[in-house]
């Protein structure tokens, strides 16, 4: 937790330093935005497993997820003073299911839209944000997968996010996002297989810096 807070502070300091020493930036330019996210204790429906020699999936149970961190990269194109469209990707650093040693990660790519309803006032621009995309990567460690001799295949699914934030001096971006990650947990043994839908949800505080392209 302390490490995550220090990283967020470093991002803010770097952004503020750039604002102090940089010339005034044009308002409507394409930007590449790099963010660091602090993820709360989310929830995941995870396949319940049996300790008997039978198919390990007997349904799904909702389990807590420990605090995590994410790295985000977005390219945004301002359509107007009040709307920006773009593409992005987020890497969820491996996070652990509460009270276990099982860890997992998602990596979605997505389309994103930011709406600035009041424009910019004295260098501050509040915005609403929505993301829609697909989890191109869904991975887990050995403890997350079904035990041998079962073969586990993890497949990505729909990703979406909804939140709000503030842009400072056209340079620093800070937002709070609710995000949802779906996937499929498939287990096979010889010619038999079964699968369970996975859903992971969390709330994140993201802070980053935008660079003109």
Task: Encode pLDDT of 89-127 as tens digits.
Answer: 999 999 999 988 999 999 999 999 999 999 889 999 999
**2 vs 133, more confident:** 133
Give the angle subtended at the CA of 172 by the CAs of 203 and 10, to the nearest 5°. Answer: 80
| Separation between Cα atoms, residue 101 and residue 82, nearest integer Å | 45
Report the pLDDT value the prediction gives residue 56, as an integer from 0 to 100: 66
Percent of the chain past pLDDT 90, that is, above it, reads 68
Span 142-167, average pLDDT: 94
Report the pLDDT value the prediction gives residue 194, as an integer from 0 to 100: 87
For the stretch 3-37, pLDDT in tens is 544 454 444 444 444 443 444 444 578 999 999 99
**What's the pTM value of the predicted model, to 2 decimals?**
0.85
Q: How many domains are contained in the chain? A: 1
Whole domain around residue 159: which residue ranges? 2-212
From the number of C-beta atoms within 10 Å of its C-beta (0-12, 13-18, 19+), residue 17 rates as exposed
Span 189-199, average pLDDT: 89
CATH code at 178?
A: 2.40.160.20
**Nearest Cα to Cα of residue 136 among 187, 195, 88, 193:** 88
Pick from 9-13, 57-61, 66-70: least confident: 9-13
Q: Strand, coil or helix: what is 5?
A: helix
| Separation between Cα atoms, residue 175 and residue 172, nearest integer Å | 10
């Amino acid at each position: 937790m302390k490490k995550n807070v220090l990283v967020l502070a470093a991002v803010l300091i770097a952004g503020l330093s750039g604002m102090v020493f940089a010339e005034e930036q044009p308002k409507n330019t394409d930007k590449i935005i790099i963010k660091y996210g602090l993820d709360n204790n989310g929830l995941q429906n995870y396949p319940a497993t049996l300790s008997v020699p039978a198919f390990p999936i007997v349904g799904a149970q909702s389990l807590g997820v420990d605090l995590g961190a994410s790295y985000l990269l977005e390219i945004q194109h301002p359509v107007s003073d009040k709307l920006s469209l773009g593409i992005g990707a987020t890497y969820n650093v491996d996070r652990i299911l509460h009270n276990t040693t099982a860890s997992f990660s998602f990596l979605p790519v997505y389309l994103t839209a930011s709406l600035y309803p009041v424009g910019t006032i004295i260098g501050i621009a509040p915005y609403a944000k929505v993301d829609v995309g697909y989890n191109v990567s869904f991975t887990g460690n050995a403890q997350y997968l079904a035990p041998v001799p079962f073969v586990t295949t993890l497949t990505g699914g729909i990703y979406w996010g909804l939140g709000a934030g503030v842009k400072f001096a056209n340079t620093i971006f800070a937002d709070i996002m609710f995000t949802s990650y779906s996937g499929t947990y498939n287990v096979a043994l010889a010619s038999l297989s079964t699968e369970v839908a996975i859903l992971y949800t969390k709330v994140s505080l993201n802070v980053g810096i935008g660079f003109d392209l």
